[in-house]
Structure formats: structure tokens, C-alpha cells
Amino acid sequence: MKKFFLAASVMASIALSTAPAIAEEKVTVYTAVPQVFIDELVPMFEQQTGIDVEIIKAGSGELLNRLTAEAARPMADVLWSVDSSVVDFNPTLFEAYDPEGSDALLEGMNESEKASPFSAVVMAFIINESKLDGLPVPQSWVELSDPKYDDYISSAKANRSGSSYIQLATVLQRYGEEKGWEIYKGLLANFVLSDSSGAVPRFVNDGELAIGVTLEDAVLRFIEGGGPVQIVYPSDGTAFHADAMALVAGAPNEGNGKAFLDFMISSDAQTVVAEQGRRPVRGDVPSNSALLPVNEIVRVNYNNVWAAENRKRIVSAWEDMMLDVQ
């Protein structure tokens, strides 16, 4: 039986299940994955393995802080669905493990020593054209930095959200740091910031803002729900990036944690990933047909190692810039 928790702060979570776990076999998973993947994939895993799953759900920043606080006595077995640089930047918190089926992964999806890919995420713009007040639909990062879009754009904070850090690192890698920071300063000045990346597409779909910087699968879910929004891929390039998972160092249920990682890159699980609008990481599972083919998207050669090694410095610079322009 699954237990599900929603973390409201670093050290607190609210139990959403109605009964305690009673099975001997369990795995505890800390995750920032959208709820739809929990609802679809966790019951499949439990049915196939007989292992009960306890979910702690929060933003990637909160989960990382929790793992750090618990490092001497880990409570989690797996961290599921975070920017891979979160894992690479905190290597002592995780254990290297190469899941079964890794030989079927797409090229470039398994470059981290301790992070394993769960899905491939693509950064995009969500646009509610009716709320642009006659402004043109922006097609690039440079256009999005134009002051005419001030207070039109929803984005999560790069120091709280893994996907927003990818957004920032994408611009810096595409243009180089000198010009990239100049462009990003314009973006940040235009942003209406939130603590949650999940709130970004919802604000745009609900008409509170006209533009959001988010992941393509989040936009697709609103489109398929009849929302008044569209996906725009930046014409100056975007990241095609692994959304990662990892085995926690000292995991109390290490074997079950490994089984969870094995399952998540299986063809069964990756088919669900594709159905829900994320890009699968296996070469033998096709992407959702509603998404633009990868070869039609202008891609930035996103360097995970650089993003991880420079994360602390870049986030610190972002925080300083936010105080100046917000």
C-alpha cells in the first residue's frame, strides 16, 4: 500500500495516506516529479514487485536540504525526478548504480556517475496569446528579455527549482557567460517569480500571466485539457536534458531502491513517460506524437558537468541579480 507525503517545508511533510505501511518490503522515495507520474507509475511498480512505496513529495531544493540534514542517518532510498546537476553537485549524498536496461538508453542520457535518467525534459515557453495585450508572441530568449514583456512572464526561482536552474544554465551556455548574464538580467527583470515550478504553467493557463518558462510536458497537459495555451520552442536554442534519479548513499532499503530505479527505465515505465508528454530516455520507446520531433527543435549543447560544477556560483550570482532587478 502506498503512503504519500507532501513536504511543505524542508523538515516537515503531511501524510496523505490513510493507513501506515504494513508490508516488510518497502522503498522510500523523495520526489519532485509531477503527480501524474506518481499516480501512473507507483502502482505499476508495487504490482510488479510487491514492494510498497512511501512517497515524500516536495520541490528539489527542499528535498536536497532534507537529504543533507539526514545524511548521517538516511531516511530515503531514492531521489526521483530532479535536475541531474543536483545529484552531481552533491555526490556524497548518493551511491553509484547502473540500473538494469541502461544499455537501451539514448546516447547522451547516461553521462553522470551517480544520476540515472528518468525522462528527457525540454525547456519551452507556454504562451496564452489572449493575455499579451497585442504584443507579439516571443520566439527566443533574447526576445523574452525585451522590457516590453515586463510583468508578463511567469518563472520559478532558480535557487528553489531545478528546472529554473536549467533555464538559467541554458542561456549562459548558449551565449557564454558575459552576454548570457546580460540577456538573463533582462529576463529576470521581466519575471514574476514563484517558489514552485509547477505553478508557472498554471498561472499562464488560468490567464494570470501571458507567458511562462517551463517544461514542454507541462504545457502539453494543459493543451490536452483544452487550455488556451501553446508551446513555443526558443529559436535560439533550448536544453534537451536528463531529468534524473539516484540511489541515496546509505539507503536503508538499498535493494528495493535499486529495483525502483530498474523499473523506471524499463520499457513499461518509459511508455508511460511518453504517454504523459515527457521524452522517454530509451531508444526503443517513441516520443509522444503530439510533441514536435526532436530534429525540429534548435538544441543547445547542454553540459551537465559544467552546470553541476558551477551551480553554487551561478545561483549565488542569480540571487544577487534578483535583488538588483526585482
Arithmetic mean of pLDDT, 20-31:
76
Is residue 126 pLDDT above 50, yes or no? yes
Quote the pLDDT of residue 112: 82
For residue 202, give the amino acid letter. R
Q: How confident is residue 297, by pLDDT bands cut at 50, 70 and 90?
A: very high
- For the chain, the average pLDDT equals 91
Quote the pLDDT of residue 108: 75
Quote the pLDDT of residue 24: 64
Quote the pLDDT of residue 240: 85
Closest CA to 28 of 83, 84, 59, 67: 67
Is residue 121 pLDDT above 80, yes or no? yes
Arithmetic mean of pLDDT, 56-77:
94
Quote the pLDDT of residue 7: 46
Quote the pLDDT of residue 15: 38
Weakest mean pLDDT among 136-145, 204-213, 235-244: 235-244
Arithmetic mean of pLDDT, 205-216:
97
φ/ψ (deg, to 5) at 99: -60, 150
Arithmetic mean of pLDDT, 305-311:
89
Angstrom distance (rounded) from CA 236 to CA 173 = 12
Is residue 23 pLDDT above 50, yes or no? no
Arithmetic mean of pLDDT, 152-167:
93
Most confident option among 105-114, 132-141, 282-291? 132-141
Planar angle of CA 116, 122, 128, nearest 5 degrees? 145
Query: Which residues contact residue 81 at a Cβ distance below 8 angstroms, ignoring those fewer than 6 apart?
Result: 31, 32, 33, 37, 118, 119, 243, 244, 245
Q: How confident is residue 18, by pLDDT bands cut at 50, 70 and 90?
A: very low
Maximal CA-CA distance, the chain? 60
Closest CA to 159 of 65, 299, 66, 76: 65
How many whole angstroms from its chain centre is CA 14? 22
Q: Please report, rounded to a whole number, the percentage of residues in the chain having pLDDT higher than 70.
A: 92
Weakest mean pLDDT among 63-67, 77-81, 201-205, 300-304: 300-304
Q: What is the pTM of this model?
A: 0.77
Arithmetic mean of pLDDT, 118-146:
97
Quote the pLDDT of residue 36: 93
Is residue 307 pLDDT above 70, yes or no? yes
Arithmetic mean of pLDDT, 264-288:
94
Quote the pLDDT of residue 2: 47
Q: Which is higher by pLDDT, 325 or 3?
A: 325
What residue ranges define each of the domains in the chain, with the CATH number in brackets? 3-120+242-294 (3.40.190.10), 121-239+297-325 (3.40.190.10)
Structural element, H or E, at residue 121: strand 116-127
Is residue 33 pLDDT above 90, yes or no? yes
For residue range 178-196, what is the model confidence (pLDDT) as tens digits? 999 999 999 999 999 998 8
Quote the pLDDT of residue 29: 98
Q: Please report, rounded to a whole number, the percentage of residues in the chain having pLDDT higher than 90.
A: 76
Angstrom distance (rounded) from CA 166 to CA 185 = 16
Residues in the chain: 326
Is residue 5 pLDDT above 60, yes or no? no
Closest CA to 84 of 240, 278, 220: 240
Arithmetic mean of pLDDT, 257-283:
95
Pair type for strands 191-194 and 78-83: unpaired
Angstrom distance (rounded) from CA 275 to CA 97 = 27
